[in-house]
Chains A and B, each alone.
Chain A
């Protein structure tokens, strides 16, 4: 019989080697799948992992795009990871991202056509405030009415989506857009734009914010009292209470931080890559960020790497569709394999596999 034995300490060797082995296993299993579809597996895997980074034809464009795609994922995942560490489950970052974008865009458009350089900072503040406000609904309901924040935050995503559709087709609609849905273009108007900071790098304010968030989160989690309280509350809630951690305050703080970062990601996206409020503005960053957070083991550096890896499989996967005609569902299955192997090998970092002989009764 095979049994799993919990390790006293997570294995460092598996912790470091696991992700690398997971990528290798994904390449093998994915290769078999591609071969079964009649696609050259070596070529497909080279295109997914190598071409976006190093091919002469694509890398010049794809490398900056990695940052553009990873930026919002990392920024949102960092915020979520703090709550997750404390056992506070904000599943509704997608909604906070949408509300942040709507508030930021509304602030910027309220001053249209002014090009005042203070407008963009104002938009960021408005977006962060919007994200926080949306996150406060599940937070306050949890604290004062004992509702479940998982359900409330998730359901508020659908409310936010309805608000987005209403904004895009109604009150934020471009008055010069001949009735078509969608707001004015924010990215091509000086004052409301979130431009590329260094040409050809993909680096915009949101990517920069994501990097800063990684560093700040790292410092908070390892050096600051709040980080200690978060870890304690997650590992031993009773001990935390005796240790003077106020659980209500922690809920509000963690939900607030994750809402703020999701809202910020929304503003940076709507004023940059997405360019405007539209019906389909949100593409699931808030949900994918949950995967990124866990893939990065709720560790800021891990999240940084996980965000970049997710972005790589998105962009490389798209290239494989384009160059080899790999069907989109096969790419999704490939991404799923990667997550599966990463999480499965995570078990080995925390548990030891023992083979026990059945003892005759």
Chain B
């Protein structure tokens, strides 16, 4: 390859950049990489790639097409990413939200979304009048369970009577299913909706019902000032720019990062006027304390749902337990399906 060829970076998307959620944010970061490096880089992407055997082919064809670095932006691409990485040791691989790093050219990266959940949980606890918060879960996996626990703990902290109702959508992106789930939660009395799915459908339902909700993955600012009163934004651009730069000057090394509000990978979107000013202030204080490293959302005492002790007074959860979290904390009703 000639020296002045642009460095080609390929992105594998599980959804479409038009989802205004998860994939949209990864695509924004791709555009930020293009903007930052200009002519020195070239980016390509494949959208709606199924997680499974097809992903392996998609990644391989991307590399045969000239890609020097690959970002696979969904957990389900882990197997395929590692399988291809073994065959192309000179290509750099970055796998989002995964844990498998079978070859030295594979890194994984994720964000501490639960820090954002703590902040919106705090807001939800203050805002709910029915004391029922509806939560649309995608799949009962540690990532999602951790988010429910974090949101619940911080809602209960400010409102001891709060209850969480969780509906499992068994999809990451299906506007019809997500809308049904939101409606079911509203029918059950929820006046705050949180989602861990990617579409804006729950926002639309919340708007019609006149209740509040939170933007997920992207800002979903088109639903502000209400129902969307705040949001958790995944901001991948700084990480992508940093890693592409390292790959280009040969300083890239295998890594596994889990960054949060402190580095700006997790951003709390604008809190709107629909939230009372004192709550906005306390939520911002919570956000800043997390960012400064003064407070960890999982600080004891915390018991498991069955009443057994998990974290003692002042004890902070370790990353290993958080990464594999498969239990609810005390106070959440209902079972995790399996």
Contacts and interface: CB of A to CB of B under 8 A. Distances in A.
Contact of B323 (A179, A185, A278): A179
B325 interface: yes
Contacts of B50: 280, 283-284
B141 A280 contact: no
Nearest to B52: A274
Interface in A276-327: 276, 278-281, 283-284, 315, 318-319, 321-323, 325, 327
A177 B61 CA distance: 28
Most chain B beta carbons < 10 A, residue from A170, A178, A327: A178
Interface string A168-199: 01110000011111100100000000000000
Contact of B51 (A62, A272, A280, A323): A280
Contact of A318 (B52, B58, B323): B58
Interface stretch (A16-24, A26-34, A158-166, A336-344): A158-166
Given A180-B75, A280-B50, A321-B46, A169 B338 contact: yes
Contacts of B141: 169, 179-181
Interface-central residue, A180, A269, A315, A325, by most chain B CB under 10 Å: A180
B60 A61 contact: yes
B96 to A, nearest CB: 13
Contact of B338 (A170, A322, A323): A170
Contacts of A182: 79
Contacts of A171: 338
A327 to B, nearest CB: 8
B298 to A, nearest CB: 15
A165 B62 contact: no
A65 B57 contact: yes
A321 B170 CA distance: 29
Interface residues of A, number: 42
B225 interface: no
B39 interface: no
Contacts of A357: none
B170 A273 contact: no
A171 B337 CA distance: 11
B301 interface: no
Given A179-B323, A180-B141, A185-B79, A278 B51 contact: yes
A322 B65 contact: yes
Nearest to A62: B61
B1 interface: no
A318 B44 contact: no
A169 B139 contact: yes
A278 B61 contact: no
Given A273-B53, A274-B52, A318-B61, A178 B79 contact: no
Interface string B110-144: 00000000000000000000000000000111100
B314 interface: no
A149 B321 CA distance: 47
B306 interface: no
A193 to B, nearest CB: 13
B47 interface: yes
Contacts of A273: 52-53, 56
Contacts of B326: 179
A166 B140 CA distance: 9
A239 B170 CA distance: 47
A269 B53 contact: yes
A175 to B, nearest CB: 11
Given A278-B51, A281-B52, A319 B65 contact: yes
A180 B44 contact: no
B99 A180 contact: yes
B253 interface: no
Contacts of A179: 141-142, 323-326
Interface string B158-171: 00000000000010
B61 A166 contact: no
Given A323-B65, A325-B44, A278 B76 contact: yes
A68 interface: yes
B53 A274 contact: yes
Contacts of B53: 68, 269, 272-275, 283
Nearest to B326: A179
B15 to A, nearest CB: 11
A328 B47 contact: yes
A358 interface: no
Contacts of A50: none
A280 B99 contact: no
A356 interface: no
B35 interface: no
Which of A65, A68, A179, A278 neighbours the largest number of chain B CB atoms within 10 Å of its CB? A179
22 contacts: A58-B64, A61-B61, A65-B57, A68-B57, A165-B170, A169-B338, A170-B337, A170-B338, A178-B142, A178-B320, A178-B324, A180-B99, A272-B53, A273-B52, A275-B53, A280-B52, A280-B76, A318-B46, A319-B65, A321-B46, A321-B47, A322-B65
Interface pairs A-B: 7 shortest CB-CB: A170-B338, A179-B324, A273-B53, A283-B50, A178-B324, A280-B51, A179-B142
Interface of B: 10, 16, 44, 46-48, 50-54, 56-58, 60-62, 64-65, 75-76, 79, 83, 99, 139-142, 170, 320, 323-326, 337-338
